[in-house]
Structure 1
């Protein structure tokens, strides 16, 4: 029977279970009971007993036999602390300087010794590094230059991981003799998955000489010792061969971690063997983390600016859609801004009733094909983006002008949609060698394994069929525009439903009035008819009777006129939403105050209520008016240690005047003019929830009730709103 040989992928190699360390350090491992379970074989250089005698020694007994100038004091109780935070300290072995690092990992205590120099970091050196970052526009290039000054390697580069886990060199500092590899791409399998995971666990790594002999660990088999967090762990043979093929003898790396993810690496290479002492590596890691923070701050500033850009468009579009009766007209006005904001070269707004085109767009037949193809891909999803779209149903279509497509849909049937298009970009990728794997047979593992790449000569690849990728900003913009338009459509739909209901009610009312009018007109019409017939049939009618019947006809006509006038007036009254009456406000004002206090979670408050006179107006509108004003008063004073709200009314000049006073944040003098503008929020109100609509509603209600509103405010002290209601 022929045995089937398997293939081992790079990511299957358990590089953290290699069972070896590099020769610039020593390793001692204890279990959590405090007994020694493993030591690196080179510990025999200074231990006063053989390695087999070292095993199972208690922690303190072992520490007493370490030839350190300063006694090592460690208690089992310290293990819990070391689980959370490693400890690193300077010590001496046989008169030489060493760095001792202690940590607990995978239920074992690790003691790592490595050679170190007493390095004094000058404050002016740190200041110089900081100033370099402050002056620079390219934080990663500056990082390379700073680390170059610390360790003086032949090449320092920043390697960024891309979405597909491949990488690209985005910054580089090198000695003149070295050829630049700036902009070179590297395939994902050069740094496989398990290696990337280790770079997150151990942020600083080095290999002083790839040809130096590694040291075995005595006491436990390799699979029993997880060296994920060890700084002296030996590299895998594949990695060592990779560096050798690259022409490198010494290597170091410092992980760039952003938002708890491995963003990239600072990769350091030297042609000759070179050891980086612990203190220098620590300084390099510090500088790397500083650069990552600088980059993150810069990205956050960019995002804030981008959010501001989207917000401006949102507010303007929301206001336009709020008042506009035509989606078609409003979206047409914003089409160019929609394109410019996310760098599109074409845009289509399509509904069952119309198709609007802007810039370079496909014709109607191709658009239908694109629409169908996207529906196959996303189903009922409302948002679709692709930077490499192709029509599988029509492979021969030349789609260079719409290689990149984004689509927003706003209805269940995907009939109302907006499309963005981007043109194809022909790009040239530079690769460090052909990105291909090569298999070799391993006698030891009796399997095919992938050998490290041997050539890193520049290999160029032309990339076509792609547009610029849709960025996080682009997708954020699409999500927010989709939500805004969908909400506006829903609001319009609800308005239509309300109008339809009112129309039904109006038709029913008209039917009622028709029947009533017909009934009421019967008597006067009958009088007119009878009088006219009598006058027509009697030839000998006297002037007295003519006068009497003429008066009857005139009275009946007058009655008909009155009936019609009253009917029209009654109809107007029925269709008028506002039913004015004297409304007692005390009950619902108390209710609104309690609701606002609960809503804004106010703990300490003082409510002062004076006379609350009845108001002449429409009850529902009055309720909305006081609700908005009371909510604002409580909201903008809710962050105070004590929220104070005072409401009272007076009778003045035959008007009922209400005062609503708070101790909130107040209103800037320069912003008082926009208090009642829709979608306008005050600059000091950003920490409070809200949409900028409430006060515009207040103003509209006040106008509808023929009332007047004004206010006085002191920034930081509070605001008083004054509303004058007519009493008739």
Structure 2
């Protein structure tokens, strides 16, 4: 038959569902769908009245007369047909007589076979479990406190099955177990609070506990009976997953022997189809519980599982509602407040209310918001860099960061556990919650690391521990676990953030459209008003010129008319500049390489002549070419250089400097003067339409030029800013795309 050596490389995959043996207190026959015997345990022949009969290859009906007393012909075929219709779990067991003794026949499917298990109907128990179980269940459920509920359950199960020790054993997320309730003989040492490594009940064993809700090991000191197979059926091992008398792993048998346990019985405790724990029962002498009693005991496990599930769900619902309320509040804030950062971090309800965390970080829109206890800035940036390259998907959480992140030890006190919601990996936008390290001591039932032995060939083998003396271990680098309700709340918040971002994006698009329409209407209005003002202004100027020709006009009247004419000229200049400002809003952008050196040189010559300042010093440095609209660029330099010349005239030695420099695809020009300067309080308004400084009232100007420059720069997706000091001069900076960079667009 099938055989596997168990060592460190495969102990977690030991094929315990195909042991090739059964426990010796019962025997097994296995038939195919034609009712032909294909397997049997070797001890089956001892129950036949004619020991010479050959079992393998025989039809089950040919064996019944030698095996079963007082049963009709084709009895087994009939009850298999019944089981197929009703379900074997509802029809088992069948009371039969074998060699004058009462047996239970239990039938279970296994691939293309049926397992026929025969085990004694007589139990070692002194009571009828079915009769007392109702009262025991009432006792178990009498207390709503979870710990007292578990304590009651352990005591009531012990009262029923009379085992020496009954434990409630709960599995942790990593598979290791802890005794959380216990009822025992007074002469036994308490194991309450002891932890057992996951290797004591490995994963494949836990999977079987989910399928077989009770498990009996009647006597660890007996030798199991080997299973024989018919020719041609010995190539594939027989699956005994559904067998109640399936033999036990040799490792587990030795484990029980080392503990001094002679027999054990377990009842599975389930939570939403997962194995929550076990009611683990130990006896220090052999003890057998019959099938009907085990089935009744299973009811205790199912009722206790339901009670645990109800109380856990009740607790989860309270947590869920609390976290849901926080997410709902933040969802409202996300839509109501102007920015995502303000919505999630500024109020009493914030990111820390979404999960049970001690700190949180939001990195969004090039800003970092922190709440509570978080790593230092340098450590946080290193963590974010790691997240960007190592966290796949949109969500990640761990309560033991050191298993994933090399720098975890340095930040363990605040960030042993993290949960990450990815908003945008490309923009490094995340929400990160932090849980601090929770150092604590675990007391193990024996050193969990002392279960390895080396044989003569140097092979390492899992060996059941010989010592179960308490062994303490300090646990560090681990935080409190993230529970499913926290994960759910964080996931929902992430969805609400994306919804809010989309809503804000739509609002911005609508606002931009309204602004564009208003901008167009304002341009049209400005153009129309400016154009319509020109006619009455021309009339005013014409009549003022006629009046000046009148020789009879007194000197005072002549002076008044001249002021009217000067005012009309000034207003005409302003109207022309407003028209130019409006025209820029409608003007098409014609981009290309602009050679700035000839533009600047020509402007300087014209300005020096126009202002008649031959002694002014003008310094021109590098003049790199830029990308833009040639006409608009000329207007920018005309305004900036013209202002520099005009406002530096009051200086003792007027000086203007013009310099361009290229850097990373951009060109920044500076136009510097040593003129009257600008008061700091007015710098923020310097590019507004019709804005003029108090110290420039006596200098010619309309207050439109810099507004035109700003509008042109905006059309080029550039930047303009100013640095100035009153009475010492100003420097205007303007940034455009470099010629080569812009041509590649």
1:8-157 matches, within 5 Å, as: 9-50=10-51, 52-71=53-72, 72=75, 74-75=77-78, 77-78=81-82, 80-81=84-85, 85=89, 87-93=91-97, 94-117=99-122, 120-121=128-129, 125-138=133-146, 139-157=149-167
Partner deviation per Cα, 1:131-171 (whole Å, 9 max, x = no partner): 42142422433332221121111111122222222222222
Q: Aligned partners of 2:344, 2:13: CA distance in 1, in Å?
A: 53
Residue 377 of structure 2 corresponds to 364
Deviation at 1:121? 4.9
Q: Tell me the distance in 1 between the aligned counterparts of 2:420 and 2:39.
A: 60
Asked if the contact 1:79–1:109 (Cα under 8 Å) also holds between the matched residues in 2, the reply is no
Deviation by residue 1:449-490 (Cα, 9 ceiling, x = unmatched): 322221111110001122222222222222122222232223
Residues 476 and 224 of structure 1: is their aligned pair in 2 closer, same or farther, counting only changes over 3 Å?
closer
Q: Residue 457 in 1 paired to residue 469 in 2?
A: yes
- Please state if 1:493 is matched with 2:494: no
Q: Does 1:174 align with 2:188?
A: no
Query: Is residue 2:250 matched to residue 1:237?
Result: yes
Q: Please show how residues 251-400 of structure 1 align to structure 2 within 5 Å.
A: 251-334=264-347, 337-340=350-353, 342-351=355-364, 354-378=367-391, 381=394, 383-389=396-402, 397=410, 399-400=412-413
1:211 is paired with a residue whose SS is coil
Of residues 377-386 and 165-174 in structure 1, the stretch that sits farther from structure 2 once superposed is 377-386
In 2, the alpha carbon distance for the partners of 1:406 and 1:55 equals 60
Aligned length: 539
Cα contact 1:207–1:252 (8 A) shared by 2: yes
| Superposed displacement of residue 264, structure 1 | 2.2
Contact 2:93 2:292 in 1 (8 A): no
Partner residue, 2:583: none
Relative to structure 1, the CA distance from residue 43 to residue 196 in structure 2 (aligned partners, 3 Å threshold; closer, same or farther) is same
Structure 2 vs 1, CA of residues 334 and 383 (structure 1 numbering), >3 Å: closer, same or farther?
Answer: farther
State TM-score, norm by structure 2.
Answer: 0.65
Output one character per residue of 1:632-670: Cα deviation in whole Å (capped at 9) or x when no partner. xxxxxxxxxxxxxxxxxxxxxxxxxxxxxxxxxxxxxxx
Distance 1:125 1:253, change over 3 A: closer
* Greater alpha carbon shift after TM alignment, 26-35 vs 391-400: 391-400
Contact persistence 2:375–2:411 (CA under 8 A): no
SS in 2 for 1:178: coil
Give the Cα–Cα distance (whole angstroms) in 1 for the partners of residues 221 and 129 of structure 2.
Answer: 31
Q: What are the within-5 Å matches in structure 2 for residues 401-550 of structure 1?
A: 401-436=414-449, 437-441=451-455, 449-531=461-543, 533-534=545-546, 537=549
State the Cα deviation string for residues 157-190 of structure 1 (Å, max 9, x = none).
1222222222222222222111122222222222
- Residue in 1 that maps onto 2:628: none
Structure 1 residue 335, shift from structure 2 partner: 5.9
Per-residue CA deviations over 1:49-72 (Å, capped at 9, x if unaligned) read 236433333233333443334543
Do the aligned partners of residues 538 and 485 (structure 1) sit closer, same or farther apart at CA in structure 2, a change above 3 Å counting? same
SS at structure 1 position matched to 2:115? strand
* Matched-pair contact (CA < 8 Å) for 1:370–1:391: no
Cα–Cα, structure 1 residues 116 and 22, in superposed 2: closer, same or farther, change >3 Å? Answer: same
Change (3 A) 1:366 1:169: same
Kept in 2: contact 1:249–1:271 (CA 8 A):
yes
Cα pair distance change 1:69/1:134, threshold 3 Å: farther
Number of the residue aligned with 2:662: none
C-alpha distance in structure 1 between counterparts of 2:235 and 2:294, whole Å:
27
Cα distance change, pair 91–409 in 1 and its aligned pair in 2 (3 A): closer
Q: Do 1:19 and 1:222's aligned partners in 2 also have CA atoms closer than 8 Å?
A: no
Compared with structure 1, are the counterparts of its residues 392 and 237 closer, same or farther at alpha carbon in structure 2 (3 Å cutoff)?
closer
Question: How far does residue 247 in structure 1 lie from its aligned partner after superposition?
Answer: 0.9
SS at match of 2:424: coil
Q: Please give the alpha-carbon distance, in whole angstroms, between the structure 1 residues aligned to 2:141 and 2:49.
A: 50
Residues of 1 paired with 2:345 and 2:359: CA distance?
13
Which secondary structure state, in structure 2, belongs to the residue aligned with residue 135 of structure 1? coil
The Cα RMSD (Å) is 3.5
The structure-2 alpha-carbon separation of the partners of 1:299 and 1:393, relative to structure 1 and needing over 3 Å to count, comes to: closer
CA contact 1:9–1:449 (8 Å) conserved in 2: no
Change (3 A) 1:57 1:354: closer
Aligned-pair CA distance for 1:203? 2.1
Which stretch of the first structure deviates more once superposed, 286-295 or 492-501? 492-501
Report if aligned partners of 2:262, 2:284 keep a CA contact under 8 Å in 1.
yes
Deviation (angstroms), 1:231: 0.7
Structure 2 CA distance, aligned partners of 1:405 and 1:195? 32
Corresponding residue SS for 2:307 = helix
Q: Relative to 1, partners in 2 of residues 1:501 and 1:19: Cα closer, same or farther, differing over 3 Å? A: same
Structure 1 residues 149 and 321 mapped into 2: Cα distance closer, same or farther (>3 Å)?
Answer: same
TM-score, normalised via structure 1 length: 0.67
CA distance in 2, matches of 1:386, 1:440: 34
**Residues 55-92 of structure 1, C-alpha deviation per residue, up to 9 Å, x if partnerless?**
33323333344333454353475574487756313413
Bigger Cα Rg: 2
